[in-house]
Amino acid sequence: MLTEQQLQERKSGIGGSDLHHVFNEKPYGCARKLWYDKTSQEPDYPDVGKDIFDRGHRLEPIVADLYAEKHPENNIILTAPMVDDKYSWAKGNTDRGVIFEDETVGIFEAKTVGREMYFKFIKEGISAGYILQLQYYLWLANLNRGAYGILWADGWKFIDFEVERDDELIATIISACERFWKQVENGPPPDRLELKDKRCQGCEFRHTCQGTALIDSISEEGEEVPVMTELDGLMADFVEFGEIESEAKAQKDACSSKMKKIIGDLPVVDCTGYRIHYKTQESRQVKTPVLKKKYPEIYEECSSISVSRPFKPYSK
């Protein structure tokens, strides 16, 4: 875990892990959130991503070891923090360095991700934030080559690959960082994300940024809402389990799509321990709006009122 001094040093400039915020890159990046952090604003709520950051930091040596075992021809080395002479905001602390087989020196980035992100990387390539980060470090270190090591720890799956320096992208990064740092020093803050953006829901600055807009959108008029702090721990677990559920569903849907593609037009197939039905079926559905408009008496006669009590937590 980073010390208090290290955390303060991070606020004095732009590091590689800040780049996805500078560019508002999904799923977590937000320039305004980064602005609040760099200008030492007090957060409204705890940082829910802090533990994930700590996990990645602690697992860096393991990722480096896995890369070294897979590529004994290359040498992983420790690196020192970097600063740029021209740009006071340009700072970086790489995970490791790597000396490749041909003796060229590069940057090594060790990443740990969840299941969903791991398979997303395999299918679609790594996130824009990771791409920006390594290119930023190559610029700071004046190097031309880098490598990633990416670990899905729970499934113990590891992938790695190399990249070359991209000067056009680096120029874009420098320009965006200059613009953002001027906002840090002189204001104004970057634009807010839209109120409906999912990134606002778990942001630790969401009240400072959006005011009461988030909760006002679902407020109960004329009703005093009781505060039950005993729900805090359960709510944190609820959110975490929801994220796990979302990851699991995404992977389940991906597996289903792959199997359907393999099965093709066959209606039934067997695999070890399972029989899979993939038959064409017809179903008839009542077009409720049409029925209600053309035959209101029949609609009233055939419909009934049901009572439910949906459980819907909202960020505030």
Higher pLDDT, 184 or 199: 184
The pLDDT-based confidence of 6 (bands split at 50, 70, 90) is: low
**What confidence score (pLDDT) does residue 45 get?**
85
List, for residues 33-71, the tens digit of each pLDDT value: 999 999 999 998 888 677 778 888 899 999 999 999 999
pTM above 0.85, yes or no: no
Beta bridge partners of 162: 147
CA gap 75, 68 in Å, rounded: 7
DSSP states along the chain? ---HHHHHHHTTSB-GGGHHHHTT-TTT--HHHHHHHHTTPPPSS--TTHHHHHHHHHHHHHHHHHHHHH-TTSEEE----EE-SS-TTBEE--SEEEE-TTS-EEEEEEEEE-HHHHHHHHHH-S-HHHHHHHHHHHHHHT-SEEEEEEEETTTTEEEEEEEE--HHHHHHHHHHHHHHHHHHHH-PPPPPPPTT-GGGTT-TTHHHHHTTHHHHTT--TT-PPPP-GGGHHHHHHHHHHHHHHHHHHHHHHHHHHHHHHHHTT-SEEEETTEEEE----------HHHHHHH-HHHHHHH--------------
Best mean pLDDT range from 184-188, 218-222, 241-245: 184-188
Q: In terms of C-beta distances under 8 Å and separation of at least 24 residues, what long-range contacts does 76-79 make, across chains too?
A: 76/108, 79/107
Q: Which domains does the chain have, with CATH numbers?
A: 4-198 (3.90.320.10)
List, for residues 202-235, the tens digit of each pLDDT value: 789 988 998 877 666 655 555 677 888 888 888 8
The mean per-residue pLDDT over the stretch 224-249 comes to: 80
Burial 168-202 (b: 16+ CB within 10 A, else e): eebeebbebbeebbebbeeeebbebbeeeeebbee
The pLDDT-based confidence of 120 (bands split at 50, 70, 90) is: confident
Q: Are strands 157-164 and 145-152 parallel, antiparallel or unpaired?
A: antiparallel
The mean per-residue pLDDT over the stretch 130-141 comes to: 97
pLDDT at 247 over 90: no
Tokens of 9: 């040093």
Tokens of 213: 């807009």
List, for residues 144-183, the tens digit of each pLDDT value: 999 999 999 989 999 999 999 999 999 999 999 999 999 9
Backbone angles phi, psi at 96, to 5 degrees: -160, 170
